[in-house]
Structure 1
Amino acid sequence: MTLRICILETDVLRPELVDQYQSYGKMFEQLFSRQPIAAEFVVYNVLEGSYPPDSESFDAYLVTGSKADSFANDPWIETLRAYLLERYQRGDKILGVCFGHQLLALLLGGKAERAAQGWGVGTHNYRIAEQPEWMTPAVDDLTLLISHQDQVTALPENARLIASSDFCPHAAYAIEDQVLCFQGHPEFIHDYSRALLDIRQQHLGEQIYQQGVASLDRDHQGDVVAEWMMRFVARGRTGEPV
């Protein structure tokens, strides 16, 4: 059986990056195409007001990253909050990455805000706090590409911490078998991260920029997180592996 995943895009790529990388939805589709559980994807850009019709049904909804602040009150963010709350109350499975990770934490009783630690860029390493059976393949620690200046500073009361670091204490969490979120970007590749660093060099400052560039020498485990996500979604479905 093939999983059906709705990707809720919460941003558009910078114009100079569109030709090479197309969109965040396309980056996620390319990521998930490399993992072993069959899935198909439909992308809706909620920033532009696009949502699935009521007649569509999905096994999970994935909220992407965005340059927007998860705690902002832009009309499109308010609309997305209401939509995700309805999905959650219906029992749908929801995945969140970066902005999505922060927005869902806020929506479900946690806290997200501008981080005192400042910008996180490049490749970052996390400690695994818990390893449920769907986290296959198992790893001792996790490395992901990141680009964020906001963080989840308090988890929802019913959330379980999955991964953390000193820089980002609430880097990944799960809520029962329904919500799974990561601060890092499994869909990023090194070239895209380098392009973002170059674009933001002046804003980041030379020290953070150089540290970020140097960190790109390390591999990352976006493919591992993609498989975790699909195994999390597949749990409880007849004939699907866990």
Structure 2
Amino acid sequence: MPLQICILETDVLRPELVDQYHGYGRMFEELFARQPIAATFTVFNVMQGDYPPDSERYDAYLVTGSKADSFGPEPWIQTLKLYLLERYQRGDKILGICFGHQLLALLFGGHAERAHQGWGVGIHRYNVNHRPEWMMPALEELTLLISHQDQVTRLPENATLLASSEFCPIAAYCIGDQVLCFQGHPEFIHAYSKALLEIRQQHIGEAAYHKGVSSLEHDHQGHTVAEWMMRFVAHGRSGLVD
């Protein structure tokens, strides 16, 4: 039976990008379709107040990236934090990407803030610090597309650091077998990253823009992270993975 994944969208794409890329939920569906573990997906835009009915249960809940700050005061962010805490206390598995990575760190006692390093854009390389058994195929280094100006600066006490770099010391972490988060964007493709760079060129500065564009000549391993995420969700559930 396929895994049932609930995608909690925390953004709406810029108008000039919607026709081609639709939304982060669609991006994740396309990404996960290319990994070997069968899964089905239902998307809810929580920024717009859309949540699953209480009667519906999923194997995992995925929190997407967002233009919003994870530490922001917006009511929808506070509602989302309460919802995720309820899911965690119920024993559900939760996945976080970028905004989701930061929000979950905050929720469980860590810290996230505007990073003094400035904007991270383009393709970035991380060292893999720890490899649980579900992180297959195994990698010593990981490359992902990124777009963020905030970072997690302190892990929750019970979290395990999975990946880091000098620019982003807390790039991925897990909390037991329930929470898995990445700062990078496995769902991004090169063309979408290039479009964001063009839109944000003046905001991020010429140096960061040109470095980001140049980095897009290389490949990234979002498909591997997608498989890790599904293996994390399936871990411990008989018959779901080889």
Alignment-derived partner of residue 128 in structure 2:
128
Q: Which runs of 5+ in 2 are unaligned?
A: none
Paired residues in the alignment total: 242
Q: Which runs of 5+ in 1 are unaligned?
A: none
Q: How many Å separate the matches in 1 of 2:135 and 2:239?
A: 18
Per-residue displacement from partner, 1:52-100 (whole Å, max 9, x unpaired)? 0011110000000000000001000000000001111111000000000
Runs of 4+ in 1 over 2 A off after TM superposition: none
What TM-score do the two structures reach when normalised by structure 2?
0.99
Give the residue type in structure 1 aligned to 2:53: P
Q: Is residue 89 of structure 2 the alignment partner of residue 89 of structure 1? A: yes
Alignment-derived partner of residue 219 in structure 1:
219
Alignment-derived partner of residue 26 in structure 1:
26
Q: Is residue 105 of structure 2 the alignment partner of residue 80 of structure 1? A: no
Q: Give SS of 1:44's match.
A: strand
Per-residue displacement from partner, 1:125-150 (whole Å, max 9, x unpaired)? 00000011100011110000000000
Residue 205 of structure 1: CA displacement?
Answer: 1.0
Alignment-derived partner of residue 154 in structure 1:
154
Q: Give SS of 1:62's match.
A: strand
Alignment-derived partner of residue 111 in structure 2:
111
- The sequence identity of aligned pairs, in percent, is 75
Residue 236 of structure 1: CA displacement?
Answer: 1.4
Q: How many Å separate the matches in 2 of 1:235 and 1:206?
A: 44
Q: How many Å separate the matches in 2 of 1:84 and 1:113?
A: 20
Q: How many Å separate the matches in 1 of 2:21 and 2:130?
A: 33
Q: How many Å separate the matches in 2 of 1:116 and 1:159?
A: 23
Residue 194 of structure 1: CA displacement?
Answer: 0.2
Alignment-derived partner of residue 50 in structure 1:
50
Alignment-derived partner of residue 8 in structure 1:
8
Give the residue type in structure 1 aligned to 2:238: T
Q: Give SS of 1:8's match.
A: strand
Q: How many Å separate the matches in 2 of 1:225 and 1:77?
A: 26
Q: How many Å separate the matches in 2 of 1:192 and 1:42?
A: 22
Q: How many Å separate the matches in 2 of 1:238 and 1:232?
A: 13
Q: How many Å separate the matches in 1 of 2:131 and 2:123?
A: 22
What TM-score do the two structures reach when normalised by structure 1?
0.99
Residue 238 of structure 1: CA displacement?
Answer: 2.0
Q: Give SS of 1:53's match.
A: coil
Q: How many Å separate the matches in 2 of 1:152 and 1:214?
A: 26
RMSD, aligned CA: 0.6
Residue 237 of structure 1: CA displacement?
Answer: 1.1
Q: Give SS of 1:55's match.
A: coil
Q: How many Å separate the matches in 2 of 1:204 and 1:75?
A: 28
